[in-house]
Amino acid sequence: MPHPDWQTLTVFEEGFWRQGLVVAGTDEVGRGPLAGPVVAAAVVLSRGAMIAGLDDSKRLTEMERQRLFYEVWHQAEAIGIGAVGPQTIDRLNILEASRLAMQRALAHLPVIPEVVLADAMRLTEGPYYTVSLIKGDQRSASIAAASVIAKVLRDRYMVELHREFPEYGFDRHKGYPTKAHRDALDARGPSAAHRLTFLRRRGVSVRGDGQAVPGAAHGFD
């Protein structure tokens, strides 16, 4: 599938850039997994930026994501990261946890944006004008950049989490409900990194022979 050209991908930004406004894009990764955090990024691009091949992280290969991660990291004017761990996901629900992760990412920007382009999310808190774009990661360069940053960082975190819980294969499936992951849950029960509300909806027992639950949130709340 061809990636959108830069002019098409910056239509929304350009309207605000012409007014001299600081624009941030924000997106999250990790709504669907049974384990691990939901991670969001916020990215401020300059009007003169040009990142060839940028697109929704889900439409990129791993090699493309790695290349674009470094392109975005070096060309962005500012980047903020936010994450919400499994215990808070269980307490809030995944929609509100995703919203919170985006708000945290925006709060961690070293600049205050005047406009925020968000991927299909209403953000009501913050001193900025927000535009919620359906499929924003395919329509906005700033949102697409945020999706790449969030995806690569979350994947790296899940590889690190695999070292603590190697029996679940987090390095391969990143917490998503693959057959191998479900088989490991059936055999061992959930770990402290699992989202118990997600497991209950899938009929997985939240008590098993594996790691104690609820356990720690592994650096995220």
CA 55, CA 143: separation in Å to the nearest integer? 9
Task: Please give the pLDDT value at position 204.
Answer: 80
Task: Please give the pLDDT value at position 211.
Answer: 44
Task: Please give the pLDDT value at position 203.
Answer: 81
3-state secondary structure 150-182: HHHHHHHHHHHHHHHCHHHCHHHHCCCCCHHHH
Task: Please give the pLDDT value at position 168.
Answer: 97
CA 28, CA 42: separation in Å to the nearest integer? 9
Task: Please give the pLDDT value at position 1.
Answer: 61
Task: Please give the pLDDT value at position 177.
Answer: 95
* Segment 45-55, tens digit of pLDDT: 999 999 999 99
Residues with pLDDT less than 50, the chain: 208-217
Spatial neighbors of 131 by CB under 8 A, at least 6 apart, are 12, 115, 116, 117, 118
Q: Do 118 and 103 meet the contact criterion of CB atoms below 8 Å apart?
A: no
Spatial neighbors of 58 by CB under 8 A, at least 6 apart, are 137, 147, 151
Kindly list the distances between the CA atom of residue 196 and the CA atoms of 89, 98, 102, 174, in Å, as whole numbers in the listed order: 9, 17, 22, 16
DSSP state of 5: P
Closest to 30 in 3D by CA, of 183, 184, 213, 152 = 152
- Tokens of residue 121, six digits: 């999310």
CA 163, CA 13: separation in Å to the nearest integer? 40
Task: Please give the pLDDT value at position 4.
Answer: 87
Task: Please give the pLDDT value at position 60.
Answer: 97
* Complete domains list, the chain, with CATH: 6-160 (3.30.420.10), 164-201 (no CATH)
What one-letter code names the amino acid at 138? Q
Task: Please give the pLDDT value at position 3.
Answer: 83
**Can you give the pTM of this predicted structure?**
0.93
Burial of 211 (0-12, 13-18, 19+ CB in 10 A): middle
CA 87 to chain centre: 17
